[in-house]
Homo-oligomer: A and B are copies of this chain.
Amino acid sequence: MLNEKNFVVSHECSDCPIRHRAVCARCESDELTRLEEIKYYRKFEAGSHVIWSGDRMDFVGSVVSGIATLTQTMEDGRTQMVGLLLPSDFVGRPGREGAAYDVVATTDLTMCCFRKKPFEEMMQRTPHIAHRLLEMTLDELDAAREWMLVLGRKTAREKIASLLSIIARRDASIHPGKVDGPLVFDLPLTREAMADYLGLTLETVSRQISALKRDGVIELEGKRHVTVPNMGRLMEEAGDDSDGGMLV
Contact = CB atoms under 8 A, between A and B. Distances in A.
A187 interface: no
Interface of A: 54, 70, 72, 74-76, 78-80, 82-83, 93, 95-98, 100-101, 127, 130-131, 133-135, 137-138, 140-142, 144-149, 151-153, 198-199, 239, 241, 245, 247-248
Contacts of A153: 74, 78-80, 199
Nearest to A146: B72
A82 B134 contact: no
What is the count of identical protomers in the complex? 2
A238 to B, nearest CB: 10
A97 B140 CA distance: 18
Contacts of A127: 127, 130
A241 B142 contact: no
B137 A72 contact: no
Given A72-B145, A74-B239, A137-B138, 6 more contacts: A74-B149, A80-B152, A82-B149, A100-B247, A127-B130, A144-B145
- Scoring A54, A144, A145, A247 by chain B CB atoms within 10 A of each residue's CB, the highest score goes to A145
A101 B145 contact: yes
Contact of A142 (B97, B100, B152, B245): B100
A145 B140 CA distance: 10
A241 B145 contact: no
